[in-house]
Every structure is written in structure tokens, then in C-alpha cells.
Structure 1
């Protein structure tokens, strides 16, 4: 009795087991099975149920051993012991389950065996240690009983299906040691799960063992091995493997060849995929709709969507393939990926016309495509139209639109969409929370972001790597490095010690706060933990050193990176150039530019901006101006930061005329930029922050005392207009007017252009009238902005009338004027009028 009490005590007191007390063990229905010689009598189970005893692990194991040849009696006794009737707190331990597993498997009571196996895995395989203990208990029971290895095979398959590949491999190895052969089905299950979980190498090694065991592979196994080779990036090996299997006389059908085509699709090898199709044709293997769909997907992934559509026509007309909704879905998605939304909608409509149901994949592709183009309104329309198509939006539909809202900073709409999502019975996933969390951080709503984090945790949503990194970024942007360090320890404790994203976020946050020494410590810890730094890691740390003027350390990091055969990016060179200027080592800039050229890295807009700013600070304005005009020649548009830097430097050095020319040209560059960029770039938060920073820095700096006020204020107003803060710009202008500020053409040009770009044409014309009342004469740049506004709102008649009035005002339309009108007519589909304007422009020698 004392021994039984000791057996019970650990269960009652162990916190790790107590949580299972309320989980009922569903006893399998005792079979009415009397024909087997292993069963002594049908009355045995009934007599067992009348027993009264105090169960223990020792008693249960002993009786199961005695009843090993009597499966019905063994099952009935186990059921009674586990039911809680004899003792409410008793649950059999893993060994008892393993003994019964072998007893039932030997008797071929497979439904009952599977039920016991399910309970064993649920109750006793809750962590790695316990799971390996169960594996060893199954081996011990087998050695003791000497029964058939069926229980091993069932355990192998169960582990594989649950994705417990480590434990499945352990069972596979144990079977090999015991000279027992797993079934073909179990081997296929293990191989398939290994490939799906990214363990292709392990799958190939298991396959070698399978062949040594004498197991003859079927078509399914061969296709799994082909996938394993492809997942490991060796499609050529997969192709050689198929040839080898064919040479050995194994059946290789369309399924195997499709797996091979799929490998080339993932690799982006259209030529290889087409070669496999030719091979199939030569060997008499009929290509099915899956084969053609895979080839179409390959074309789409390479952006060759026109060829993909030609393939669709060929499938329908020449190959006699029944084209299904998946084929159309691939093509719709292909057009969406390259931004050809009109074509995507055309294919969707064709799909509906031929009687195919527009499915959720097609709708999601359209939502994603519109969001990528920055046309969130169109994406929302698709989501609403899904009801008309009798398609229910899924989590991906909502998450994609949600991401579009968050990227544009439209957080109110984001929350409304989340509420709608919940009303529709779709629970927000960790991906949903991550998007909203990032959106709040991007718009600076840090308090709301922290509240959302706590809500997410309270609702039982487990944060992932992205969640933690977003919160870490939030804390750094709040300037709370102490809480960031606490969170960092939690991140490492959660098992993200091999995450480059986590380390890069941490290093970047510390560097932005000027804590480069701490960032270096994290970098060293990263290498100690076996996480290899990538280009972003090295660049971030190098940039941190540049920002505090330690350019020697920055170059040390660069050298370390190059020893790891990682080439510096243009972003790293930009940072190093900035570091050299900050450290008063501008003489070394030329060497860095030569090195960039040797590496075939071309300067980008940031490179030019950094160089111009650097030379302006050193008062080498001729170099700055040379770079300014070179930048324009290379097709880059100088932004407000670059222009204001040059203007301020020129005024400071009494080069008034040059400064005025550049200031006047800023509007022209801006207008051209609008036609070359999407709405998304105009609304970019970065521009907004930069504009505000310019205004603030000019107001506070000493330059304000040495430069004419109108220059400083014009730059501030321009910055606000550029960021879309038109109301703020007009408010600033109103205040400045009360202080004696005299606005000029540049002032009104910036405001008129901003109103027109925002669709406020009435406001733009009012500003034009106000400008004229002040005795200022609008130039062609001003009228271009007005015409652009009219075109944007679709008022082409008024735009055309204003265009014809330009000569009366003493103005000659330029290339920008014509391009605005041509674009406007194209937008409304009037290609005839657009062609006339183009011909008129050519005749006038305007290009």
C-alpha cells in the first residue's frame, strides 16, 4: 500500500502533470471479438469490470504483461484503470501505454491501437525529453514481448503526420537497429514531412536507408525525392535521379515529371522546365493541366506574363487541356505582380465569362496587386465586390488590405477593418497584429502600439519574431533603451538567438541612440551565439560609427565584412562618405568613389546628396554645384533638402543670383517628379518628416540671422507643401504675412502646385488670383501646376481652354505643359486628342 501511495504522490504534486488532470482519456470501445486464440473467453472483460482495486503503475504494468496474449482483457483492464472509477487521480504512465500498444498491434486491433497511440502522444509526448522516453519505452516493450514491429510502424507514421520529424527519425533508426522494416506508406509519410519542413538533406539520407532495407519505392516516393533535391537547390540532381530510376526499371509517370518541372519553377529556370516538357513528349508521358500550370507559373515568376497568356491560349486551342480556375488564377496573379492591373481584371472577367467561378485566390491577387501599386481604394472595391462573386474574404484578404492601409498611415481604417474581420468570424492572427503594430509605430503612435501589444498577449496570440522586432523598434523610437534591453533579453530567452532580423533591429536601435559601444557588444554576442552577421548588420554598425565620427572603426567593420566575402552596398558607401566628411577627412572621399566605380556601383540620389552637403559644409561650392548639375544629367531630381542646402550655402557666400535660380527651379523639378513617381512616393512619411525638420532647423539656426527671411520662409513653406501639409503651409504664410513677409513667385508657385496636386483646383486658382492682386506675374510653371490640377480632377475642357490662353498671357507652353495634357487625355481614354497634342508638340520643335 505504501508503494502505491508513493506512486500516486508525484502525479498529485507535479505542476507539469497537474494540467492534464482535467483531460479525459476516452476509452476505446471494447471490441466484441472472440474468434482470436489470444482471447480466453468473452466473459473475461465483464468479470474485470467488477473488480475493485487501487491502481498503480506497477500493478497496471504487471497485469498487462500477464494479459499480453489476451488483448480484449488487457484493453478492458487498462480502460477500467484509466477511467478514474478505481482512483480519481490515477492516470497510467507511458510504459503502460507502450505495453498495451504492442498487445493491440499484435492482435491487429488497429482502430483500438490508433486510439491508444493518440492518447499516448497527447498525454506523454509534451516535450522532447518525454517523447524520446516514450520511444525508448516502445523499444523496451518490443524487446520484452518479441511481438510484431507493427507498433513501431504506427508510431513512425504518427510522429511524421504530426510533424515530429526528430522523433520519427529516432524511431526509424531504432527499427533499423532491430532489423525491422517500416512499411512503404510510413516511409513516404516521413519523407514527405521532412521535405515540407525544409529538411531535404535528411530526406535524401532516409531514402538511401530505405533502398538498403530492400523497400521498393513507388511513384509517390520517387516524386518526394525529386522534391527533396529541388528544395535543396539541385534541380539538375533531381533530373539525373529521374533518369537513374527509369534506367532501373521503376515507373516514372506525370506526377514525377511535374515535381521536376516544379523544381525548375522554384529556381526560375524556364529553359529547364521547357526541356522537361520536351522530355515528357519524347517518352510518351502525357502532360496534364498541372504540367502546363507549372510552366505558366514559371513564366509569371520571371515577369514574362505575355508568354504566359500565349500559353493559356495554346492550352485551350492546341493542347485540348481543360483549363480550370487555378490556371486563370496563376495568370491573374502574374499580371498583378508586374502591376498590370487592367490585364489582371480582363483575365478575371474572361474567367467568369467561360463559366469558371472567380475564387478567393483570384480576388486576393487583385487586392494585393492594387495595394502594391498604392491604389488602396481599388483594393477595397475588390474586397466589397467579393460578395457579388459569392466569394467569402479570408484572413489573407483582410490582412492584405490591412497592410495597404497601414503602409499609408490610415490607422482609423485599419482598426475598422479589424472590427469587420472579427464580425465576419475571422480571428486576427499574429500577422494581423504585426501589421497594425508596425503601422502604429510608423505613424509615431507608440503608446497605442504598446497597448495593442498587451491586448495581443491577453488574447492568447503568441508573438513571433516579427512582433518582437517591431516592439523593439518601437521602444528605441520612444528613446526607452532600458525597456528595449529588457525586451532583448526576453527575445534571446524565447529562442530567437539565430535571428538576423532581431540582431539587426537591436544593433540599429542602439546605433540610432548613439550607443555604439553597446551595439558593438551585441554584435560580438551575435557571433558567439553562432548567428552570422549579414550585409545589413555590418552596414548598420558601420553607420553607427560614422554618425559619431569614428570613421576608423567604420572602415574596420567594412574590412571585417569583406573578409567574410560580403561586398559593401551603395548604402554602406554613402554612410562612409558621410563619416569622412564628419571626421574632417574629405580628402579620402575621392578614393572611396574610385573604389565604388571599381566595384561597378553607381552613385544614387543619396550619394549625390551626401557629397553636395559635405562640400557645402566645407564651403567648396563649385564642387557642390558640379555634382548638383551632374545629378540632374543622370536623371535624379534634387529634393528640397539638397536644394535648400545649396541655396543657403550660396546666399551665405553672397552668390545671390545662383541661389535665386536654383530656388526658382525647385518647383520645376517638383512638377516633373510628380509625373515620374506614384502617388505613394508623394505621400511618403519620410518627406513629411524631412520637411518639418528643414523648417525647424532653419528657424533655430544661426543662418536665419544672416540670410534674408524670405529665403528661409520660402524653403519652410515649400517643405510643408511637398509633404502635403497644405493647410499648415497656408497657416504659416498667414502668420508670416502679419509679420511683414512679402511672398514672391516661388512662394505662390509652391502653394499652387501643392493645391493642384491634392485636387484642390479651386484653392489653386484663388491663390493665382491673390498672386496677381499682389502684382506678381504667374510664369509657365504656375500655369503648368493649374493645368495639372484640372487634368487630375478630369476637367479636360477647362484645362484645354487655359492651355489656349497661354499665348495671350505672353507664355509659351513647354514640354511639361504638353506632357500634362497628353497624360490627362490618356487617363480618360481620349487617345485621339492625346495624339493631336503630341503631333502639335513635335511640329513646334518641343521635345
Structure 2
């Protein structure tokens, strides 16, 4: 039966009659009741209460031990009430019913006295009467009494000792918890430390309930402070206490503190159960210490505990996140051997781990296995596999999984759709990407990221018409572009030099209350620099500062790099010092820009000075730094210093890239030192670098210049064997070498091979062919090549006309030579000194 004390209206009336005296009376906390004092003052009979059974006492002799006084004007004394309560000390419900009955008596008012604390002790001893205890304390604490928490606690303990209740942990726990619930945290702490000072805080239950109340009230800092004192004062606590405090620390992200609690308890000999170990394992995983987590799992097994499937799942998933697939797979086997089955979370995590290692086939095989074993894949499982397929170019399989997912009644999320679209775009399947995009738009699931994917794709390739189509559709469908959308589109326009459109987008962006950020301004500043609009770039930078947009290191580097690119490296160097005063931290990239700028301007000494300054400032040169220096030194024919930089890279452990080797190889080829060039070519292979087409072309040019056409053809054959693509420069160089050596047929064969690969000749190739034919006196072949140029709409230049004119002079056909001179003039080509040398002397110098 529910006690009337649990009713708000009833409990508040009872508390009023129980603890509040009339407003005209002075409160005090003696053992005398208001009725006792009223009797001594000869109060009117109306102030007396008749406690005879015939009064309002419940019928049926419900309170047989509540004996009234024998006097005709019987008065309920304080002692009388206490004695009646004590007679039912083991029957909390009867005590409540008695006070309900007292509440109904006309004019009955009772002060705080032993009766109140006896009732609290009786209710506190019962595990089923916490609500009644709570209501009494709660109403008391919300009243006007100035009784401190410690005073209330002292009275409660004093009463429990005088009436033989003993110090019951439940009662004290109830009291401390109610202080916390009532937000009287200071009283709660005072009571706790009062118990400690009296030497009676020896109950683990009290400690745990109190700390639990603090944690639940989000007073975690107070809980931590009190627990620290509990440990320091050697107050009893157990594994539950440790687990509670560890969980509270983890909830606040205080991972080290949680670990400290665990280790201190373990070293202090506290009996720690599986739950504490599981909490410690979760903490270790959050700290990314999966080896520690695995060790704790082993420790649990060593103690005879079987770790739960849940804790295995946590550790396995964190191992995968840290790319430790070997450990994840070992733990998966342990989990299964411990009697647990593979669950979908573990399986999905392992699938992701496999494909992140580049082992997509194992991901797909595991998917098939878990489906065969009865697990039903969910959206997350499909999302992981589809993303893996898209990342690795398995677009057909990705699409199959997408359709399989839909046929299973699982609606693909926009995340999955976006993964597929990015995959199709990445592997140049534009039609499929657009088909999926249109489907997503029609289904109403396309979000701003879906549109951004396509806008970015078109902008990256300079296809702004396509980007504008997607942009317009986004507006038509009511999808608001984000700041990222505008930045992508602004970047696309800047890349093709369309700065007016980019600035219009900036204005449109701001009109939509999307404040341009430092990325937006950095893109625009870089765009102006690339067009050579230095003043506009710097003006925009100053505007950015003026409106309060704080530049980051990327913005500072954009300005420095831009100035270097437009030949203002000295100004860039000065700007760097000013930017440092604004909080900029120059990095290796910054120094690389300035070094490259000076080298581009031919100021090698200045570049070397910046290099030394960079090293002195504590910045270790990287591969780009050294490549810039080596390339610049080689082009300025300072080979010895370039080799010194190269050797310095070796000693500092800096990796060398293809660009550096190509610079060194090219330098030695130009010096006709093919032995050194070949040595660097071999060194490049030894360090694991694969030569590019450009590197092979450099070697072929080097041998061609030495008229070693056999070696050049050998490099060409090796190039094709290694699967390196031969480009126009490759064929043009070889054809030139073959013609110079008199191998006209081989040159013709190579030319036909080039055409068969859809590699079309350019003006340089035609110049080589015509010169070769003219040198051999094959003027008809030379003229046929000229006709081919006309058919391909390739206009001959002065060099080609000079070569043909010289060729006809050589074979004595002066009429044709002068005709070509007139044709040259008709085409708007201005004869140069070489032309007139031919006409006067009959040959090219």
C-alpha cells in the first residue's frame, strides 16, 4: 500500500504539523515538544489532543500498543509519541500510519525533536521506505529552518545511539544522498567529513552511495576530491568504488586519471572484479594503448574470467582503427575460442581494416563468410564495403553491393551514394556518376556534399560549364550551398584565371550571410598572383586584415609564394619578417618558396644565403628544398656545389626524388658525361625510384647528342620493356638522332610507329623531319612533310622555311627557293638573318 506520506499534499501537511511551530513562536531544538510547553503554560483545552481509541484513532484497534494516558484531559507528550514509535521500530509502515493519524488531529503541531529523528531512523532502516524518508528530509531542507547539515546529521546519530538503533549505513547513505539531490553540496561534504572525524565512516555502502549521488548530480570534481581523501585516509572502499570513479573520469575525458585510479587500487590490494578490468580496458583503448588493453584481457583470462563479447569487440575495433590488423585478428580468434560468436560489429570493423591495408579481396571474402554464417549485413556493413570498393576502383562490385543492399530492403544512405559518386568520378566513369547523381536528386537524398563532389570534379578539370549546371540544379532543388561549395567554385574560376567570376561568387556568398573565411581569401589572393596581378593580390590581403579575418600560415605562405612567383622575391623576404611579428611561423615550405624565387631570378648566392638562414633557424631542409637547390645549381652549371648538396642529403637521411635525379642526369648529359649520368640513373633504381618518361628522354637525348644512337635505342627498348609510356619528345629525339646518323628508313619506321599510337607531331617534330630530308637532298620528301603540316593545320615557322630554302639551294633549285621565300612573306613570317644568309650564300650557317 502506498503511504500517504508519498503524496505531495499529504506529506507537506504532515511536515508542516511535524516540524513547523506557529509563526509567533521561537524555534528551538530541545527534547521538549510544543505540547509539553503548552501544558506547563496552562494552554486552553483546545490545544490538547485526545488520544483515546474512541477519538479519531483508526478502527479495528490498529495501534494496540499506542496506549493513551488515563487522565480525562489526556495530552500527547513527546515521550509518549517516541515510545509509541519505538514500539513499532521494526514496522516502518505502522509508524507512518500513526503519524498520518496524528496529522488529522485538530490543532496538533509538533517541533523538531526526538520524534522526528526516531521516525527517520525507523524509515532509514527499511529498504522499501526510501521515498518516505526522502520526502521528510526533502521537505525539511526546503523549509525555513536554519539547521545546518552537520547539526541535522549529529542529531540523527545522537538519537540513533540513545534509542539503540545503531549506526545503520542505509540511514546515513539516505541522508547524504538527499543533501546532494537537494543541491546542498556543502552540507553533504560537511556531513561526510563529520562522519570521518567521528571515526564512523567505515561502511563501503555509505561511500559508494554518496559518491554515486555526486556523480549522478554531475558533481564529478567534488566526487574526485572526496575519493582522493577516502584513499588518503584509508577509508574502506571496494572495486565498485574504483569502477564508479574510473567511469566518471572517462566520461570527462580524463583518461590518465582513470588509469591512475585503477593502478593505485591494484597496487593497494583492492579486490578488483571483471567490471573494473573492462572499464580499464575501455580507458586503454581511448588512450590508443591497444597493447595495454590486450594485456589486461590476458590478465582477466589468467584470473579465470571470460571476457565478454562486448569488451572483445571494443578492443578489436580499436586495434583496427590503429591499423594493427594482426592484433585484431588474433583477438578475434580468442573471442571465438572463448565461446563467443563473430558479431556484425567486429566483422564490419575487420572488413574496413582489410581494405585499408589494400586487401579488399579479404574484405569481400569475410563479407561472404559472415552472410553464409547467418549474420545480416546492415547499412554500416554495406557502407564500409562500398567505400572500400570505390577507393580501390572496384566500381562494378560497388554497384552490385549497392543493388544487393536495395533488394534486401535497406535504403542506401546519402553517405553511400556519395561514396559511389566519388568512386565513379575518381575512375573516370562520368556517365555512371551522373546517373547515380540524378537518381539521388530524384529520390530527394542528395545533400550539399553530393553536389560539391560534382562541382569539385568539373572545377578540377577546368570544365566550368558542367560545374555551373550542377550549381544551378542545386539552387533549383532548394539545397543551399555551403561555404565549402563557394570555396570550391571560387577555386575553379581562379584556376582558369576567371577572377571576375570568382569575385562575383565572393559577393554572392557574402549576400547570403556566409562570411568568407581565410581559405576563401587565400584562394583569391593566389588567383591574382597567378595572373600576375600583384597589386590586387596584396590589396585583397590588406582587405582581409581590415575586416578582421585572421590570416593563418597558409595565407601567409600564399602571399610569400605568390611574390616569389612574380619575381619579387626580395619583397617576399621582407614580408616574411613582418608576418613573423604577426604570429607567423615560417616553415620549410616558406623557405623553399624564397629559395626557388631567388634561383628563378638567377640569384644563386641569395638562394644559398636563405638556405643557410633556414638551417640556422632550426628548420631541417626537406626533399623539395634540396631538389630546388640542385636543379638551380645544375642549370647555373655549378655542378660541384650541386653534388655537395646531394651528398649532404645522404648524410642527413633526406630522401631524394625523381626531380633531383633528373636534374643531375640532365646536367651530366649536357656536359656529355654519360658515364656519370648512367651512374646516377643506376643509383636512382637502387633507392627504389622508378624512372619516368622525362628521365628516360633525358638519357636518350644525352646519347643522341653524342651520336651514340645504338645506346639511345637501347634506352628506348628498355623503356618499352618497363612499360614506361613513350611520348612525342621520345620519338622526336630518336628520329632526330637516326636522321643525323643517316638511318632514314629507321627514322621513317619510328615515325609511322608514333603515328600508329595516335601521337601527333608538333612543330619541333616536323622541323626535325624536314631538316633530315633536306640534309639528304630528299626535297620531295621534305615538301610532302610540309604538305602534311598544312593538312594538319600546323603552320610552318621561320626555321622550317629557312631549312627548306637552304635545301633547295643545296640541290640547285633556286627558283623553288625564292618561291618559298615569297610564300614565307605571304604567310606573314618575317625573314631573319638566317634567311638572308641562305639567300646570299646559298646555305645555312
CA distance in 1, matches of 2:587, 2:419: 30
Partner of 1:779 in structure 2? none
1:708-763 alpha-carbon deviations (Å, 9 max, x no partner) = xxxxxxxxxxxxxxxxxxxxxxxxxxxxxxxxxxxxxxxxxxxxxxxxxxxxxxxx
Matching residue within 356, 362, 365 for 1:173: 365
Matches within 5 A, 1:615-630: none
Matching residue within 684, 687, 709 for 1:516: 709
1:461-494 alpha-carbon deviations (Å, 9 max, x no partner) = 2222223322322332343323433443454565
Matching residue within 546, 551, 574 for 2:767: 574
What is the deviation of 1:560? 0.3
> Does structure 2 conserve the Cα–Cα contact (< 8 Å) formed by 1:30 and 1:72?
no
5+ residue gaps in structure 1? 1-27, 34-40, 47-69, 81-99, 126-133, 656-693, 695-702, 704-847
5+ residue gaps in structure 2? 1-257, 264-270, 277-292
Partner of 2:490 in structure 1? 296
CA distance in 2, matches of 1:564, 1:480: 33
SS at match of 2:394: helix
CA distance in 2, matches of 1:383, 1:633: 54
Greater Rg, structure 1 or structure 2? Answer: 2
Partner of 1:261 in structure 2? 455
CA distance in 2, matches of 1:385, 1:631: 56
Distance 1:232 1:325, change over 3 A: same
Partner of 2:299 in structure 1? 76
Number of residues of Structure 1 aligned to a counterpart in Structure 2 = 559
Asked whether 1:595 is paired with 2:818, we answer: no
> Does structure 1 conserve the Cα–Cα contact (< 8 Å) formed by 2:351 and 2:364?
yes
> Does structure 2 conserve the Cα–Cα contact (< 8 Å) formed by 1:230 and 1:263?
yes
> Does structure 2 conserve the Cα–Cα contact (< 8 Å) formed by 1:608 and 1:627?
yes
Asked whether 1:252 is paired with 2:446, we answer: yes
> Does structure 1 conserve the Cα–Cα contact (< 8 Å) formed by 2:354 and 2:362?
no
Distance 1:542 1:338, change over 3 A: same
1:787-807 alpha-carbon deviations (Å, 9 max, x no partner) = xxxxxxxxxxxxxxxxxxxxx
Partner of 1:337 in structure 2? 530
Asked whether 1:212 is paired with 2:404, we answer: yes
> Does structure 2 conserve the Cα–Cα contact (< 8 Å) formed by 1:104 and 1:113?
no
CA distance in 2, matches of 1:112, 1:137: 8
Partner of 1:121 in structure 2? 324
1:56-96 alpha-carbon deviations (Å, 9 max, x no partner) = xxxxxxxxxxxxxx99875228999xxxxxxxxxxxxxxxx
CA distance in 2, matches of 1:104, 1:609: 88
Asked whether 1:274 is paired with 2:464, we answer: no
CA distance in 1, matches of 2:483, 2:444: 24
Partner of 1:671 in structure 2? none
Asked whether 1:227 is paired with 2:419, we answer: no
What is the deviation of 1:331? 1.9
> Does structure 2 conserve the Cα–Cα contact (< 8 Å) formed by 1:472 and 1:484?
yes
Partner of 1:326 in structure 2? 519
1:545-576 alpha-carbon deviations (Å, 9 max, x no partner) = 23334333222211101111111111111111
Matching residue within 311, 314, 324 for 1:108: 311
Distance 1:334 1:612, change over 3 A: farther
CA distance in 2, matches of 1:104, 1:631: 90
SS at match of 2:761: coil
CA distance in 1, matches of 2:744, 2:302: 74
TM-score w.r.t. structure 2 length? 0.57
Asked whether 1:202 is paired with 2:394, we answer: yes
What is the deviation of 1:605? 5.2
CA distance in 2, matches of 1:494, 1:552: 39
> Does structure 2 conserve the Cα–Cα contact (< 8 Å) formed by 1:45 and 1:76?
no
Partner of 1:445 in structure 2? 638
Asked whether 1:347 is paired with 2:540, we answer: yes
Partner of 2:743 in structure 1? 550
Distance 1:414 1:355, change over 3 A: same
CA RMSD of aligned residues (A): 4.4
Higher mean displacement: 380-389 or 437-446:
380-389
TM-score w.r.t. structure 1 length? 0.57
> Does structure 1 conserve the Cα–Cα contact (< 8 Å) formed by 2:351 and 2:366?
no
Matches within 5 A, 1:38-77: 75-76=298-299
CA distance in 1, matches of 2:660, 2:395: 32
1:495-543 alpha-carbon deviations (Å, 9 max, x no partner) = 5557323322332222222222122122222222333322222222222
Partner of 1:794 in structure 2? none
SS at match of 2:324: helix
What is the deviation of 1:138? 6.5
Partner of 2:509 in structure 1? 315
Partner of 1:752 in structure 2? none
1:651-684 alpha-carbon deviations (Å, 9 max, x no partner) = 758x9xxxxxxxxxxxxxxxxxxxxxxxxxxxxx
SS at match of 2:359: helix
1:615-662 alpha-carbon deviations (Å, 9 max, x no partner) = 677788887788778778867777xxx62x456667758x9xxxxxxx
CA distance in 1, matches of 2:343, 2:794: 67
Distance 1:615 1:189, change over 3 A: farther
> Does structure 2 conserve the Cα–Cα contact (< 8 Å) formed by 1:498 and 1:530?
no
CA distance in 2, matches of 1:509, 1:582: 22
CA distance in 2, matches of 1:366, 1:415: 22
Distance 1:464 1:143, change over 3 A: farther
